[in-house]
Amino acid sequence: MKKALSVLLGAAAAFALTAFSAAAEDITIEPSFAVETSDGVSYTVDSNKLAATQLKEDSTLTVSCTGGSSEECPFKLILNYWNSDSDANNGMGEPASAEVRISEYKDGKAVYKYEDITAALNGADPAKAYSFDITAASGEAVKFEGLEAKNVYSAAEAAEKGLLHTVHVHANNPVTAENWKQSLTVGVDLFDTSTLTPRSLAIAFFESEITEESFDPPVEMIFQSTDDKISPKAKNGTVWAKIRAAKFSPTFAIFAYDTMTEAYGTDDFSCVSTVYIGDTGVSPITCTDLYVLGCKTLPPAAEEEPEESSEAEKPAETVSSAAESAAEEVSSAAEPVAAAAAETDTSSAAEKSSVSSNIIFIIIGVAAGIIIAVVVVIIILNRKASIAYDVNTHKYIKK
Domain locations in the chain as residue ranges: 19-161, 169-296, 320-398
Query: pLDDT category, 24, cuts 50, 70, 90?
Result: very low
The pLDDT of 133-145, averaged and rounded, is: 94
pLDDT at 169: 97
When pLDDT is cut at 50, 70 and 90, the band that residue 370 belongs to is confident
Specify the pLDDT at position 23: 39
Mean pLDDT over residues 339-356, rounded?
Answer: 43
pLDDT at 68: 85
As a three-state string, the secondary structure of 226-263 is CCCCCCCCCECCEEEEEEECCEECCCEEEEEHHHHHHH
pLDDT (average), residues 38-56: 95
Helix H or strand E segment including 28: strand 27-29
Q: What is the pTM of this model?
A: 0.70
Please tell me the class of the 19-161 domain. mainly beta
Of the given ranges (14-28, 136-150, 164-178, 277-291), which has the lowest mean pLDDT?
A: 14-28
User: Per-residue pLDDT tens for 1-16?
Assistant: 444 444 344 444 444 4
Q: Is the pLDDT of residue 61 over 90?
A: yes
Pairing state between β 252-256 and 55-67? unpaired
Residue-wise pLDDT tens digits, 25-44: 799 999 889 999 999 999 99
For residue 367, pLDDT beyond 50: yes
Cα–Cα distance between 267 and 249 in angstroms, integer?
A: 27
* Amino acid making up residue 64: S
Is residue 349 predicted with pLDDT exceeding 70? no
Question: What's the pLDDT band for 390 if we cut at 50, 70, 90?
Answer: low
Domains 19-161 and 169-296 share a fold: yes
Mean pLDDT over 295-306 rounds to 74
Contact, 67 vs 36, CB < 8 A?
yes
Q: What is the mean pLDDT of residues 378-390?
A: 59
Question: Mean pLDDT: which of 10-14, 233-237, 310-314 is highest?
Answer: 233-237
Q: Which pLDDT score, from 0 to 100, does residue 371 have?
A: 77
| pLDDT at res. 388 | 54
| Segment 288-307 mean pLDDT | 81
Between residues 263 and 69, which one has the greater pLDDT?
A: 263
- pLDDT of the residue at 398: 57
Task: State the angle between helix axes of 321-347 and 352-385 in degrees (0 to 180), rounded to the nearest 10.
Answer: 160
Residue whose C-alpha is closest to residue 292's, from 277, 280, 308, 312? 277
Q: Residue 245 — φ and ψ, nearest 5°?
A: -65, 135
The stretches of 153-296 forming alpha helices (DSSP H) are 155-161, 257-264
Mean pLDDT of the chain: 81
* Nearest of 167, 225, 227 to residue 201 by alpha carbon: 167
- Domain 169-296 fold is Jelly Rolls (2.60.120)
**Are 93 and 84 within 8 A, CB to CB?**
yes
